[in-house]
């Protein structure tokens, strides 16, 4: 989107905002007017994002520190599950 298109888009969004204000003055804050106002606000947000996309800038990947958690392959102590229930599956059954 070039700068002329962005300026035109901003102008039209401003006109729509003015029209919605006139509708609010006439009909009050009814649901239809609220939705229109919300739509105009969303278009304004989207137009701002387009402006941000059009502005070249260097992007860096976020730096993320990762902690390695070692999970042992050994079986859990079965006494941990004594008297425990699995939700939706009923009680825990001990093998005999």
pTM, full prediction: 0.53
Calculate ∠ Cα 19-20-25, nearest 5°. 100
Q: Please tell me the predicted confidence (pLDDT) of residue 18.
A: 96
Q: Please tell me the predicted confidence (pLDDT) of residue 36.
A: 96
Task: Evaluate if residue 37 carries a pLDDT over 60.
Answer: yes
What is the domain partition of the chain in residue ranges? 3-54
Task: Evaluate if residue 87 carries a pLDDT over 60.
Answer: yes
pLDDT higher for 63 or 87?
A: 63
- Bridge partners of 91? 85
Q: Please tell me the predicted confidence (pLDDT) of residue 71.
A: 83
Q: What is the mean pLDDT of residues 57-69?
A: 76
Q: Please tell me the predicted confidence (pLDDT) of residue 29.
A: 92
SS3 content of the chain, % helix, strand, coil (to 5): 55, 5, 40
């Amino acid at each position: 989107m070039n700068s002329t298109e962005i300026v035109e888009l901003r102008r039209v969004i401003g006109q729509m905002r003015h029209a919605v204000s006139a509708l609010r003055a006439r009909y009050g804050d009814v649901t239809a007017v609220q939705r229109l106002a919300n739509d105009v606000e969303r278009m304004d947000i989207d137009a701002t994002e387009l402006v941000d996309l059009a502005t070249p800038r260097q992007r860096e990947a976020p730096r993320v520190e990762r902690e390695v958690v070692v999970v042992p392959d050994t079986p859990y102590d079965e006494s941990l599950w004594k008297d425990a229930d699995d939700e939706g599956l009923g009680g825990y059954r001990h093998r005999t």
